[in-house]
């Protein structure tokens, strides 16, 4: 199968969703959404509140099963509604309202993020076999590396709930990175951040792209999205109304209507 436009070589496509629909009672959260994410790009997903962005993430990561449609990732169909297999396939995410393991240290949070790549079972853990010990040491080393990567290694032993808001967001990204994802999905990572923190986040995402990671970014901060993303899709009432490079999307009449219908300045959301 080739993509509809026929412009992208198949190996350049990392993820393609086709005809994804999801309904909650009377609310059509997603209506026949199709989109394609290419390897190495930062792909923005924007839209007014309640447009279905988070629902799309939830379908993508298996927390919801779609009513219709399917998602192909890295050349294979994703099993709908099986989060751990999807994580194993290489999709990791953060949450709009941060969901860390509060009682654990920052380091342990990242180590949990690596769970799917580890093999130690009950027997290995109890006997602490050489393999188990090596794996555990490597996990800890890698977790420190990732904390350093996002810039909070000095907080490794702090309890997650004691971190500042911005650091919690960074920790969530480090935890997601621990699973060695091919696609990192960030749900409004800049929400609640001040200008400095947002600037730092932007630098971090650019670093991730520089290191070859594909990023799917939900964001309300239009400046951030337009400045950072290679391509942007717009959802409105569960429907994809536009998908293109930022400059084109910005001028798209339906996008302007969708945002103006809600509020004049989408940045304020």
The footprint of ligand ADP (CB under 6 A) covers 24, 27, 29, 47, 49-55
Residue 168 as a binder of Mg ion (CB under 5 A): the answer is no
- Would you give the binding string for Mg ion spanning residues 47-66, x where CB under 5 A is met? -------x------------
Residue 36 as a binder of other proteins (CB under 8 A): the answer is no
How many whole angstroms separate alpha carbon 22 and alpha carbon 32? 9
**From the CB of 157, what's the least distance to other proteins, in Å?**
4
**From the CB of 100, what's the least distance to other proteins, in Å?**
7
**From the CB of 269, what's the least distance to other proteins, in Å?**
24
234, 242 Cβ separation under 8 angstroms: yes
Picked from ligand ADP, other proteins, Mg ion, none, the partner binding residue 52 (CB below 5 to 8 A depending on kind) is: ligand ADP
How many whole angstroms separate alpha carbon 262 and alpha carbon 160? 35
How many whole angstroms separate alpha carbon 69 and alpha carbon 17? 7
**From the CB of 179, what's the least distance to other proteins, in Å?**
6
**Count residues contacting Mg ion (CB under 5 A)?**
2
Residue from 3, 18, 72, 104 touching other proteins (CB under 8 A): that is 104
How many whole angstroms separate alpha carbon 170 and alpha carbon 141? 18
**From the CB of 48, what's the least distance to ligand ADP, in Å?**
7
Residue 66 as a binder of other proteins (CB under 8 A): the answer is no
């Amino acid at each position: 199968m080739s993509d509809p436009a026929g412009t992208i070589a198949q190996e350049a496509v990392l993820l393609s969703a086709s005809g994804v629909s999801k309904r909650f009672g009377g609310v059509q959260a997603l209506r026949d959404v199709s989109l394609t994410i290419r390897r190495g790009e930062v792909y923005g997903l924007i839209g007014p509140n309640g447009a279905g962005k988070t629902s799309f993430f939830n379908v993508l990561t298996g927390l919801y099963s779609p009513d219709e449609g399917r998602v192909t990732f890295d050349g294979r169909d994703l099993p709908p509604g099986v989060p751990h297999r999807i994580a194993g396939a290489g999709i990791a995410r953060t949450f709009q309202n941060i969901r860390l393991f509060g009682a654990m240290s920052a380091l342990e949070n990242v180590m949990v993020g690596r769970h799917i790549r580890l093999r130690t079972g009950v027997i290995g853990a109890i006997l602490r076999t050489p393999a188990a010990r090596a794996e555990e040491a490597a996990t800890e080393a890698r977790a420190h590396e990732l904390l350093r990567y996002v810039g909070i290694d000095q907080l490794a032993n702090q309890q997650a709930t004691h971190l500042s808001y911005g650091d919690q967001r960074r920790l969530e990204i480090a935890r997601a990175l621990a699973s060695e994802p091919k696609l990192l999905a960030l749900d409004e990572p800049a929400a609640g951040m001040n200008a400095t923190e947002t600037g730092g986040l932007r630098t971090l995402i650019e670093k991730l792209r520089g290191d070859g990671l594909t990023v799917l970014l939900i964001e309300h901060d239009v400046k951030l999205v337009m400045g950072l993303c290679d391509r942007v899709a717009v959802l409105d009432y569960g429907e994809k109304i536009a998908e293109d490079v930022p400059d084109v999307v910005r001028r798209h009449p339906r996008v302007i209507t969708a945002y103006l219908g809600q509020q004049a300045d989408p940045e304020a959301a």
